């Protein structure tokens, strides 16, 4: 499993499985900290086609509503139903159980435009 990050503070874990490249997407620990207490998460629909850098979800917090952009193009294969009643999972564990959706990658080459953890940490340190 390889984790990548965007400059908009999304992460994607990509695993090569029997169904092709599937990525699990969420927002970074840094992003959830900037948002404050998360009160609602609007997730994409399973089967929805998404494009890289397109807004596909919304995270509402006590401070603001924030769009979540897909790190890659593909088709949504799953959404984290646990967030329906417990959006605070994103605050408590943004980079594991607080994941938002899964996407089957249509162009794995798009991953080359994303940052690895070291590059993302350096990016955040400069903000």
Q: What is the pLDDT of residues 45-69, one digit of tens each?
A: 999 999 999 999 999 999 999 999 9
The answer, yes or no, to whether residue 16 has pLDDT greater than 70, is no
pLDDT band at 88 (very low <50, low <70, confident <90, very high): very high
The answer, yes or no, to whether residue 91 has pLDDT greater than 90, is yes
Q: Are 22 and 97 in contact (CB under 8 A)?
A: no
Mean pLDDT of the region 27-39: 97
Q: Would you tell me how many other CB atoms lie within 10 Å of the CB of residue 39?
A: 14
- What is the arrangement of strands in the sheet containing 2-5, beginning at the earlier edge strand? 2-5, 10-17, 20-27, 101-105, 74-79, 49-50
Q: Are 83 and 101 in contact (CB under 8 A)?
A: no
Domain range summary for the chain, segments of one domain joined by +: 2-125
H helix runs in the chain, sequence order: 29-35, 89-92, 117-125
How far is the C-alpha of 123 from the C-alpha of 118, rounded, in Å? 9
Task: Give the percent of the chain with pLDDT over 70.
Answer: 96
How far is the C-alpha of 115 from the C-alpha of 92, rounded, in Å? 23
Which of 1.20.1250.20, 3.60.15.10, 3.40.30.10, 2.40.50.100 is the CATH number of 2-125?
2.40.50.100
pLDDT band at 15 (very low <50, low <70, confident <90, very high): confident
């Amino acid at each position: 499993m390889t984790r990548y990050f965007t400059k908009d503070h999304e992460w994607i874990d990509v695993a090569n499985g029997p169904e092709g490249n599937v990525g699990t997407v969420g927002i970074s620990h840094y992003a959830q900290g900037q948002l404050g207490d998360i009160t609602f998460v609007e997730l994409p629909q399973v089967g929805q086609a998404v494009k890289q850098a397109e807004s596909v979800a919304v995270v509402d917090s006590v401070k603001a509503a924030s769009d979540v952009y897909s790190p890659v193009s593909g088709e949504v294969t799953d959404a984290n139903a646990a967030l329906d009643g417990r959006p605070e999972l994103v605050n408590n564990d943004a980079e594991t159980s607080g994941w938002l959706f899964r996407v089957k990658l249509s162009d794995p080459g798009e991953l080359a435009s994303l940052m690895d953890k070291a590059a993302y940490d350096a990016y955040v340190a400069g903000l």
